[in-house]
Structure 1
Amino acid sequence: MASFKTLDDGDFAGKRVLVRVDLNVPMENGVVTDTTRIDRIVPTIRDLSDKGAKVILLAHFGRPKGERKAEDSLKPVVEPLARAIGRPVAFADDCIGPVAEAAVGVLANGEILLLENTRYHKGEEKNDPALVTALAKLGDTFVNDAFSAAHRAHASTEGLAHALPAYAGRTMEAELTALGKALGSPTRPVLAVVGGAKVSTKIDLLENLVSKVDILVIGGGMANTFLAAQGIDVGKSLCEHDLAETAKRILAKAKEVGCEIVLPVDGVVAREFKANAANETVPVSAIPADAMILDVGPQSIATVASRIDTAKTLLWNGPLGAFEIAPFDTATVAAAKHAAARTKAGALVSVAGGGDTVAALNHAGVADDFTYVSTAGGAFLEWLEGKELPGVKALSS
């Protein structure tokens, strides 16, 4: 992984520091409902503030597509952000121009200012040089702390990194360090657990991973597509039958490069998709025609646990079953707890990410026990797929 400068490498005292953060938080009726992303950026903001920087925060919210939409304003984030940092946060009603310039102009060293939604300007998503110039005018230095937006080459994520001296914030640094340990130069054997509903959304991911990891566990609805490709009747289970050739190609590539693929050998089946539906456990070779697989069975769970025991590095993306409804969360919770215990014992480096994955680990109560849990979603997936992220590349020194 390319080297990048961190907050330890710069002198920020008295400097106007533009900090790209991720404040695209869930909100209902103008109230933030989950502060995870706010909490993640606190160390960077406090660090810069303590160093005497004038901290100027840039962020997007929603998809206003270059128009000022009241429901996409960042103003409701100011109060929860100030509470999390434990310091006042000023707000400017624009991110460029006279309003932003006046707000930046009155900042004292150590003070914090949040600028309005960068996506209120059409040039943000187009990485328009004119917007980059207007933003750069407000700062002396750029810090990117939004790994979750690093897969987009936007004005405030990629453009600014070329216009000003650029550094990685603490969250970005932690993310890049964790990802480097997990796939850049991992301790082997490396195990990847990939689950979720559809193979179609993860073809690039699977094709990249089979050549990078030693063992690949496939679970969730995706596993059904692989089972069906091998001639197993999966009944009414979620399955992309049209991707049989893709599944076969991935299996063949794995065999060729020596990556062990682990598929379920038994499944928990039900006739309806609802909590506590009547269910039974059967071998995958005996799925009833009128039933669907909603979780992997105990034999499969034991196999996954044994592979976790042999691994030194674990990458996790996606649940093993329909973890949102009991009792079909059993396998995901069991595997997550097993991985967490191995991590706490110092035997495993565990890195997980993706929306459903974070929810599943929180549901199992072990998110804090993994080495690193990425909240980045799309950027995490693209990184796992082996794609270069523009926002990260632009930080390379």
Structure 2
Amino acid sequence: MGWNSLDDMDLNGKRVLTRVDINVPMEDGRVTDATRIERIVPTIADIRAKGGSPVLLAHFGRPKGKPNPDMSLQPLVPTLEAAFGCKVTFVERPSRDWINAQPADAVILVENTRFSPMEEANDPAMAEFLATLGDVYCNDAFSAAHRAHASTAGVAHLLPSCAGRLMQAELQALEAALSNPKRPVGAVVGGAKVSSKLDLLQNLVKKIDVLVIGGGMANTFLAAQGAELGASLQEADLHDTARSILAAADAAGCRVILPSDGRVARAFAANAPHEVVALNAQTRLDADQMVLDAGDAAAAEIATAFAGLKTLIWNGPLGAFEIEPFDTATVIAAKAAAALTVSGDLITVAGGGDTVAALNQAGVADDFSYISTAGGAFLEWMEGKELPGVAALTR
């Protein structure tokens, strides 16, 4: 492990500058889903148990470097207090003198870091200012670790630094899934477009044993092999790229599973009349037909493939899971992965907003080994890229 955790730090009597992700959904000034706040509770509790005082840094929304009252962190205070079980003091413009005047065990919340244009520019002057507010830096925001900002990277170089409990859990889960996995290792990559996951696919085929491709992106691979898929979502300009990814997988000994059948409809609507059709290079759909989900044979083949794995990484659904019955394959596959996880036969790591929503819909999110709170950072980690927020913690 190339970074410090809270266990490595002396926090007694220290102000601990703690970068968190509390970018939670709000309606009418109230938090509608406190999951991200709940996941930082262990870090706050541990800092306080070690005699430290957390000074929380966080962003909210995209204020574009200007104060915006609609994106203030102040409305989060009651939810934070309920989660932490203690008072949280909000401050708009802190100074070290003001922080020193607060109780030794205070939990302090600093206003949205992105209200300054210097944050996203990773301006050294802002990093230096933030460093004056604490004695130790703790990053617990893996979901912002792919950003080289003043509060995620710049300040980490200026203070003794460590990962918080959520960051530590993320890094340990990800290292177990891809850096040093139990083999065979597989991945599910789904979603609408190949173009958004090109780097991911090119990196994965060199590192894993089985790749399941689903969602709209599977259509692009099938069309690249000669299938005519009517009105299905697919990227005609990426057929050469799809073929090159399949060739790279073949060369690396990575088995690629494309859906052998699919649920096909003529309308993108819930419970639209549909049929299950075989999918291969010879498939010829009508001009108004769309593949909206993997079929029953494909779902069964995917579930069987999971049974031969020791580690599975999941990013993206297998179909238009938002509308029934085109969530069928995603739910079948998710339940199969969850059952193998519960029986101790499979390590499962999932990440990305659509993925988490799909696993929640299948009712299996709690059964997976680890679900990442991150979207972009999870994807960039899977692509094999260095994350600035993690690199800054490396000792």
Partner amino acid, structure 1, of 2:138: V
Partner amino acid, structure 2, of 1:334: I
> What SS does structure 2 have at the residue aligned with 1:201?
helix
Q: Which position in structure 1 is the counterpart of 2:217? A: 222
- Structure 1's unaligned 5+ residue stretches are none
Q: Which position in structure 2 is the counterpart of 1:72? A: 71
> What SS does structure 1 have at the residue aligned with 2:40?
helix
Contact 1:54 1:107 in 2 (8 A): no
Partner amino acid, structure 1, of 2:70: E
Alignment of 1:136-151 (within 5 A): 136-151=131-146
* Residue 184 (structure 1) aligned with residue 174 (structure 2): no
1: CA distance, partners of 2:301 / 2:86: 50
Deviations 1:150-186 (A, max 9, x none): 0011110001110000000000000000000000000
1:357 aligns with one of 341, 344, 355: 355
> What SS does structure 1 have at the residue aligned with 2:39?
helix
Deviations 1:283-330 (A, max 9, x none): 112533321011111110011001100000000000001000111111
Contact 1:51 1:110 in 2 (8 A): no
Structure 1 vs Structure 2: percent identity of aligned residues?
A: 61
Q: Which position in structure 2 is the counterpart of 1:107? A: 102
Partner amino acid, structure 2, of 1:305: A
Q: Which position in structure 2 is the counterpart of 1:338? A: 336
1: CA distance, partners of 2:92 / 2:220: 50
* Residue 49 (structure 1) aligned with residue 44 (structure 2): no
* Residue 33 (structure 1) aligned with residue 32 (structure 2): yes
Deviations 1:361-396 (A, max 9, x none): 111111111000011100000000000001101111
Alignment of 1:68-217 (within 5 A): 68-94=67-93, 99-217=94-212
Q: Which position in structure 2 is the counterpart of 1:391? A: 389
Contact 1:189 1:214 in 2 (8 A): yes
Q: Which position in structure 2 is the counterpart of 1:348? A: 346
Q: Greater CA deviation, 47-56 or 166-175?
A: 47-56
Partner amino acid, structure 1, of 2:212: V
Contact 1:100 1:115 in 2 (8 A): no
2: CA distance, partners of 1:104 / 1:366: 43
> What is the TM-score when the length of structure 2 is the normalising length?
0.98
1:54 Cα deviation (Å)? Answer: 1.2
1:102 Cα deviation (Å)? Answer: 4.7
1: CA distance, partners of 2:307 / 2:104: 51
Contact 1:92 1:100 in 2 (8 A): no
1: CA distance, partners of 2:337 / 2:31: 31
Residue correspondences, number: 392
Contact 1:48 1:110 in 2 (8 A): no
1:103 Cα deviation (Å)? Answer: 4.0
2: CA distance, partners of 1:367 / 1:180: 20
Contact 1:22 1:145 in 2 (8 A): yes
1:101 Cα deviation (Å)? Answer: 3.2
Contact 1:93 1:100 in 2 (8 A): no
Contact 1:125 1:155 in 2 (8 A): yes
Q: Aligned-pair RMSD on alpha carbons?
A: 1.0
- Structure 2's unaligned 5+ residue stretches are none
> What SS does structure 1 have at the residue aligned with 2:333?
helix
Partner amino acid, structure 2, of 1:32: V
Partner amino acid, structure 2, of 1:267: G
- Distance change >3 Å, CA 100–CA 71, structure 1 → 2: farther
* Residue 369 (structure 1) aligned with residue 367 (structure 2): yes
1:110 Cα deviation (Å)? Answer: 2.5
2:273 aligns with one of 272, 278, 283: 278
1: CA distance, partners of 2:313 / 2:284: 31
Partner amino acid, structure 1, of 2:322: E
Q: Which position in structure 1 is the counterpart of 2:297? A: 299
1:137 Cα deviation (Å)? Answer: 0.6
> What is the TM-score when the length of structure 1 is the normalising length?
0.97
